[in-house]
Amino acid sequence: MATASDTEHQPTPRSQQQEPMKRHRNGEIWDFEDEMVVPSNRQVILGLDGGATSTVCVCMPFVPFSDPLPNPLPVLARAIAGCSNHNSVGEMAARETLEEVMADALLKSGSNRSAVRAVCLAVSGVNHPTDQRRILSWLRDIFPSHVRLYVQNDAVAALASGTMGKLHGCVLIAGTGTIAYGFTEDGREARAAGAGPVLGDWGSGYGIAALALTAVIRAHDGRGPHTKLTSSILHHLGLSSPDELIGWTYADPSWARIAALVPVVVSCADAGDEVANTILQDAVQELALSVKAVVRRLRLCGEDGQDSFPLVMVGGVLEANERWDIAKEVMNCISKDLPGAHPIRPKVEPAVGAALLAWNSFMKECHKEVYRR
């Protein structure tokens, strides 16, 4: 997990923890702190899950490492904003969304940045160490020096939402986009897919809907078979002809807008449409392939392929419908080759998973510091 440098994480005296905080270009969003009186013993953690569709930030009380985690986990506040994937909306817009949603969560919780002990941002589009370093540098300009900062891909928070903060196993996300991400107990990690629609996020909501739109155009011009998708999608969008789909699609080709057509595709498949069924069957194969690739690279299944490992499954595409249960079909496909896969539905939302990651990472660093002494 990418963190701010160790030198930035040394314990700081109480007097320094109340230092004036730098303000980013949207400094006015922190103006609420000028009027807020926060108890000196208030300590909180921020967990943020940022995807291609929405961004959620939760503020949770900090639990000392001598205490067990409470059940249920207390959430002081929850804030929601739009897309924070810099590949989708641009870096400046993504930063603005991230900063605003963190400020909103702190405001709702009655806390300020001085009360924060750790922050974990789990954001889609964080695909390389340079992405992590860039976000960490920006975060350091926002929070006081005593705050521990962690940046990960949003898939890692999704994994933590099923394992309650433990980084071991594999997660499959299938929402607007898709990614499979895995960790071994000794810290090795691997991923598959998640490169965005241009590079083929097949099996994602965008991928399913884009294939459905393509099928409608192909049926219309005679290159493909007739499909119920034509009438269903046109009715859903309020259009009268497949020709109008071209204008609708390119007027705003945002990923989430296209992916929102997935329920229409599933309904057509439920009604027996062969084209829609083929699209979903292909999606199942692609999603299963992503999981298998990660598991085999990390050998989560052991040398003989029989070892048990948790597989957290997250995202709207994996929700069951009347006839089509994509998650079940994906598991059936995976289990044929990896019988040790143990499917898990998230125990908490991904933003809480991110907060648990921050808490676990903070605790590990504290233990290391105590050991070094």
User: Over pLDDT 70: what percentage of the chain?
Assistant: 89
HSE of 19 in the Cβ direction (CA atoms, 13 Å)? Answer: 14
The residue that leads in pLDDT, 332 or 2, is 332
CB atoms closer than 10 angstroms to residue 18: 13
Q: What's the rounded Cα separation, in Å, for the pair 45 and 364?
A: 15
pLDDT at residue 71 above 80?
no
Helix (H, G, I), strand (E, B) or coil at 202: coil
Query: Among 24-33, 46-55, 271-280, where is mean pLDDT lowest?
Result: 24-33
pLDDT at residue 22 above 80?
no
What's the pLDDT at 240?
A: 96
Q: Please state the domain extents for the chain.
A: 2-164+349-372, 197-344
Confidence grade of residue 70 (pLDDT, cut at 50, 70, 90):
confident
pLDDT in tens, 97-133: 999 999 999 999 999 999 999 999 999 888 788 889 9
What's the pLDDT at 304?
A: 79
Mean pLDDT value across the chain: 87
Is the CATH number 3.40.50.2300 carried by domain 197-344? no
CB atoms closer than 10 angstroms to residue 251: 8
pLDDT at residue 58 above 80?
yes
Confidence grade of residue 68 (pLDDT, cut at 50, 70, 90):
low
What's the pLDDT at 367?
A: 67
CATH of domain 2-164+349-372: 3.30.420.40
Confidence grade of residue 12 (pLDDT, cut at 50, 70, 90):
very low
* 197-344 and 2-164+349-372 share a CATH fold: yes
Q: What's the rounded Cα separation, in Å, for the pair 261 and 214?
A: 13
Confidence grade of residue 91 (pLDDT, cut at 50, 70, 90):
confident
Eight-state DSSP code of residue 67: S
Contact 211, 221 (CB under 8 A): no
Closest by alpha carbon to 157, among 81, 285, 58, 238? 58
Contact 331, 291 (CB under 8 A): no
Strands 116-123 vs 148-152: parallel, antiparallel or unpaired: parallel
- Look-up: residue for tokens 């050998």? 299
Eight-state DSSP code of residue 1: -
67 burial type by CB count under 10 A (0-12 exposed, 13-18 middle, 19+ buried): exposed
What's the pLDDT at 9?
A: 40
Longest Cα–Cα distance in the chain: 74
* Rounded mean pLDDT, 347-363: 90
What's the pLDDT at 324?
A: 84
Closest by alpha carbon to 372, among 11, 73, 43, 36? 11
pLDDT in tens, 308-323: 999 999 988 998 676 7
pLDDT at residue 245 above 50?
yes
Sequence-ordered alpha helix ranges (H) in 164-199: none
